[in-house]
Amino acid sequence: MSIKINYSKKTINKSSTNVVLFSNDKFNISGSKKHLTNSEFSYINDLLKTSDLKKNIFVFEVNSKKKIVLVSIKNNLKSSDIENLGAEFFGRINYGKNSEYFILSDSIVGKYDSFLGHFLHGLKLKSYEFKKYKSKKEPRLISINIDGNKNKPSTQNQLKFRALEEGTFYARDLVSEPGNVLHPDEYAKRLSSLRKDGLKVNIYDEKKLKKLGMHALLGVGMGSIRGSYLVTMEWNGAKNNSKPLAFVGKGVTFDTGGYSLKPARFMEDMTYDMAGSAAVVGLMKNLALRKAKINAVGVVGLVENMVSGVAQRPGDIVKSYSGKTVEVLNTDAEGRLVLADALTFTEKKFKPKFMIDLATLTGAIIVSLGSEYAGLFSNDDKLSKQILNAGEKVEEKLWRMPLHKNYDKLINSKNADMQNINYVGGAGSTTAAQFLQRFILNKTPWAHLDIAGMAFSKYGGALNSGGATGFGVRLLNQLIEENYE
């Protein structure tokens, strides 16, 4: 599926051109009669008299060659409402072969900041599909022509929306790839190509990681024939040398659970266990493409958690990059080991203004919040509030969960500084976050987003049609735009 947006003028053929009109919530058509014949205008008004006006969109089949789509603009719409409306519009026109529509921008009612930009953004996000490995491909094109200059998004806004779409789609593509294709070696190779977008990319392979002492991360990948990596992506868009904003992602490209083996029905989805890293990568690509006026760094740990004769065993003790030791009681609680080294490294090397990590970390967060909210854990109230507000605006919602020293006893170990899981006392998501907090050594403001329930949607959502969601890219972009640019 391809969506082509065309802002150049094309001639509208009244007898065979599909047109899109906007109206107020009472479906009074304004500013558009000139594009309809008198009979079409009367036909639409007669049908509306007997229709359910609670609907947002009506599609009128004028003849075999022409449709008229009427979109209602309700009062006081938020940006996310407009994007959802664009996604709904896509759902109504997404059938048949190639098609072409003319959006009559002069018919847009109400005073909205970049209504058309948000409408088209929602349409494009909803149109995403991953069919790379289908042997029979059916390429389809929907052309959207913008007629009129009223409400046309500025060139700068067009660039911002396009960058955000590309970043989100890149994240979705990464999550959608199967584990036999996107293993750590391939993942690191793909990230090196982001240099062409203007990112400074450094790849730390196993030799470098061993020299640094990142044995928590390295332990997870011991059973794989593939390498383990830490990759940093830097964007320096600020005019000064201000501290960077840091984003850290878990990149377990496939997770068998190791010797703490997952059941088969829970293992098949573990190609998505790198969704946190994909969100970080998509965000960094977006920032570079739109030339964001901030300094930022993305750090991802890339490993494959496999079973073999040299794989990590339950009961092993590893020394992390921080110098703290961890007793690995469960090899399926591996993401926190990857993040532990990545967080300490990020804080020490980049001295960031804040750190936000994203990970499909625990099944417990799905038990708590399902697939409607991600879990938010943080040591900083101001940062938490900013993230929550950004999530509400783009409808990537989060719920703040507790962190407290009283949970520490659940992950204390008799044999090491800590253990990587608690088998008594519950609070699986909180103890995982509590574990991560031990690797924030200098009181840097930090937030952990457990996105296990949000990274993939079997049934689709408002802005996705099922599959990888790219959760986190739009959320963090909104956070940055709203508070740090």
Residues in the chain: 485
Active site residue 226: no
Helix (H) or strand (E) holding 400: strand 398-400
106 Cβ partners below 8 Å, 6+ apart?
Answer: 31, 32, 147, 148, 150, 151
Distance between CA atoms of residues 388 and 483, nearest Å: 12
Strand 374-378 and strand 446-450: pairing?
Answer: antiparallel
Return the structure tokens found at 289: 């493409």
Catalytic residue (one of 126, 172, 336, 438): 336
149 Cβ partners below 8 Å, 6+ apart?
Answer: 105
Active site residue 67: no
Return the structure tokens found at 117: 């930009």
CA angle 26, 27, 32 (to 5 degrees): 140
The structure tokens 């790198």 sit at: 274
**Nearest CA among 434, 416, 449 for reference residue 215:** 416
For the chain, the C-alpha Rg in angstroms (whole number) is 25
The structure tokens 């878990």 sit at: 250
Distance between CA atoms of residues 430 and 435, nearest Å: 8
Distance between CA atoms of residues 252 and 7, nearest Å: 42
Distance between CA atoms of residues 294 and 290, nearest Å: 11
Catalytic residue (one of 140, 262, 319, 397): 262
357 Cβ partners below 8 Å, 6+ apart?
Answer: 247, 248, 249, 250, 276, 339, 342, 343, 436, 446, 447, 448, 449
**Nearest CA among 430, 440, 424, 437 for reference residue 407:** 430
Distance between CA atoms of residues 461 and 360, nearest Å: 19
CB–CB of 244/353 below 8 Å?
yes
Give the E-state strand segments of 259-394 in sequence order: 295-305, 316-319, 325-328, 354-359, 374-378
Q: Which residues are catalytic?
A: 262, 336
